[in-house]
């Protein structure tokens, strides 16, 4: 029983330290945090002095004013799970089966852990921005091919044009796929070696 009470006190102390840490990181005084969150100054002081634990609406207000999530405040030790980062990165290979899977699988993994594991939010956005950009360019090439084919349907050049376009479009598609694989493999190795990941070029869709 004593052990459980001790653990609760330690966890509450960690939470109090976490709130203070996030407040200082934002450059907020206790007075400014109270004003931004709509809580009383006394409430902020009691939380940081480990005299009370923020819950419900109080926790939500704190999270919004500190530009974070309730989970990050409560789970003050955001774990660095390299295996999850590697797995999420490799999940983008789903595009090999269907282009949209390269977006859907990383998206699901990003949504489930973005507030719980370190670097998941940043990596997830980078992967999604790249894969969305890649998919858009791939489908754009399909559209160009189809529009071009429709444009010559009524001419005598259909056969020669088709052969020319397909012979040039197939290598381009192979290069597209190969480049995506290379980017994923390189970034997986960089994550494994604790180096910064780079997904370029990519549209800044998620910021």
Q: Which residue has the tokens 């999530």?
A: 69
3-state secondary structure of 123: helix
pLDDT at 190: 92
**pLDDT score at 156:** 55
pTM of the predicted protein model: 0.59
- Model pLDDT for residues 45-87, shown as the tens digit of each residue: 988 888 887 878 888 898 888 888 777 776 655 555 788 999 9
**Average pLDDT of every residue of the chain:** 81
Q: Give the whole-angstrom CA distance, residue 80 versus residue 173.
A: 36
Which residue from 47, 55, 50 is spatially nearest to 10, judged by alpha carbons? 50
Distance CA 8, CA 53 (A): 11
Q: How do residues 159-203 score in pLDDT, each as one tens digit?
A: 555 556 666 677 888 888 999 999 999 999 999 888 888 998 899
CA distance 187 to 92: 11
* Residue 138: pLDDT band with limits 50, 70, 90: confident
The pLDDT value given to residue 4: 41
- The model's confidence at residue 94, banded by pLDDT at 50, 70 and 90, is very high
Say yes or no to pLDDT of 89 above 70: yes
């Amino acid at each position: 029983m004593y052990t459980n009470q001790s653990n609760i006190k330690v966890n509450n102390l960690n939470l109090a330290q976490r709130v203070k840490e996030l407040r200082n990181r934002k450059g907020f005084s206790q007075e400014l945090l109270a004003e931004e969150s709509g809580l009383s100054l006394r409430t902020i002081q009691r939380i940081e002095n480990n005299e009370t634990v923020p819950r419900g609406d109080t926790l939500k207000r704190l999270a919004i004013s500190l530009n974070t999530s309730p989970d990050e405040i409560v789970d003050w030790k955001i774990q660095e799970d390299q295996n999850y980062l590697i797995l999420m990165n490799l999940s983008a290979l789903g595009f090999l089966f269907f282009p949209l899977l390269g977006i859907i699988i990383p998206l699901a993994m990003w949504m489930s852990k973005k507030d719980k594991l370190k670097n998941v939010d940043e990596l997830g956005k980078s992967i999604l921005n790249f894969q969305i950009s890649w998919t858009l360019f791939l489908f754009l090439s399909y559209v160009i091919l189809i529009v071009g084919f429709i444009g010559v349907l009524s001419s005598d050049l259909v056969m020669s044009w088709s052969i020319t376009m397909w012979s040039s479009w197939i290598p381009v598609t192979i290069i597209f796929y190969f480049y995506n694989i290379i980017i994923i493999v390189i970034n997986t190795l960089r994550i494994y070696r604790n180096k910064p990941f780079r997904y370029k070029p990519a549209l800044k869709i998620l910021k």
